[in-house]
Amino acid sequence: MIYIFELNHPKHYYQFKYIMQALKAEGYETVVLARDKDVLLKVLQEENVPYIIFGAHRKTLLEKILATPRLLINYWRIARSVKADVIISKASFYGCIIAKMTGAKSVIFPDSEVVKVTNRYVVPLATRIVTPGSFGLDYGKRHVRIGGLFEDCYLAPSVFTPDKRIPAEYGMQQPYAVLRFVGWYANHDVRNSGFTFEQKKALIAAIEPHMKVYISSEKPLPTELQRYQLPTPANAIHSVLAYADLYLGDSQTMATEAALLGTPAIRSNSFVGPNDMTNFKVLEERYGLLYNIRDFEDVLTKVKDMAAHSHKAEWQKKQQAYFAQVGDANEQIREVIGDWKL
């Protein structure tokens, strides 16, 4: 059996990393298709993962629409040439369309209930939909739920041990905080936003008296903030987060990653609120691993407290409690993608 794994974000690679290894160990073939987006290609190169580029990431809606025909043609040619049996993606419209065209099966892994494109166009095309158990929507008999979150696939202590040499190797001063700012040009980011430039400066000013600040940014940093640029390679980010004393950002993914690595984490963007994604609510309300705060003044107050007083030991205990309760995500997913009885 031949599996295509479509990757559009570094998280997608990490989520499927150990599943791909398990499939290969069982004698199956895996093919990685990648979009030229953010630091994804850099991560794949650093990890020595062979990949095929099927398209470049486009920022504006018009650019995305105009690029779609060529992207689909490229995808179809690749899928046909490798004779793919299964196409696996986060929640790709392209992957599900190509699966229909080539007779392959498709498996998607949505974890954000608010993404309308996924709910309206992708889910109806997918052979199987896999979500965390806490996911707030029900997709019927094709829907399979697993314990925990998808980030468990690559951050559970059973598969990941942070490299304590990383911070020192790249000259990072401890204690330190990691700030993550995203670009806000993904499809699901339309009409949503994170921190303004002035707010970013205020947050840095609140943290700096207590710890060193390092910034990971999807967009190039403005000149005034370039001295805070995180110095490590892209594939070292999880070790960086694990040894941080504080995480703060308007990112979705990295907030979850920091929390699951036992690092005090604060997430703030316009998604936060009553209709926020379930996974973030669960991390805050059930496990106490994450603060989701929308109002900037409230964020600033919380940041000042978290930076002035260490909460690391408390978070590590919460992390241990979390992983004691959830099962092995990789094992559950491996069973799902190899079982076609539904």
Burial level of 216, CB count in 10 A (0-12/13-18/19+)?
Answer: buried
Residue 88 has phi, psi (to 5 degrees) of -115, 135
Beta strand pairing call for 52-56 and 86-89:
unpaired
Mean pLDDT, residues 123-143? 95
Yes or no: domain 166-325 corresponds to CATH 3.40.50.2000: yes
| pLDDT value of position 39 | 82
Does residue 191 sit in helix, strand or coil? coil
What's the mean per-residue pLDDT of the chain?
92
What are the residue boundaries of the structural domains of the chain, listed by start? Answer: 2-147+327-337, 166-325
pLDDT value at 272 more than 60: yes
* Stated pTM of the model: 0.88
Mean pLDDT, residues 304-320? 96
- 2-147+327-337 CATH choice from 3.30.300.210, 3.40.50.2000, 1.10.1200.10, 1.20.140.10: 3.40.50.2000
CA atoms within 13 A on the CB side of 295: 4
pLDDT value at 61 more than 90: no
| pLDDT value of position 57 | 67
**Is residue 261 within 8 Å of 241, Cβ to Cβ?**
yes
Calculate the CA dihedral of residues 277, 278, 280, 283 and round it to 10 degrees: 180
Mean pLDDT, residues 192-199? 83
Confidence at 338, pLDDT banded by 50, 70, 90 = confident
Task: Mark 254-265 as b/e (b = at least 16 C-beta within 10 Å).
Answer: bbbbbbbbbbbb
| pLDDT value of position 342 | 35
Percent of the chain as helix, strand, coil, to the nearest 5: 45, 15, 35
pLDDT value at 60 more than 80: no
Per CATH, 2-147+327-337 and 166-325 having the same topology is answered: yes
Tell me, what amino acid is at 240? V
Tell me, what amino acid is at 278? T
| pLDDT value of position 339 | 58
pLDDT value at 190 more than 80: no
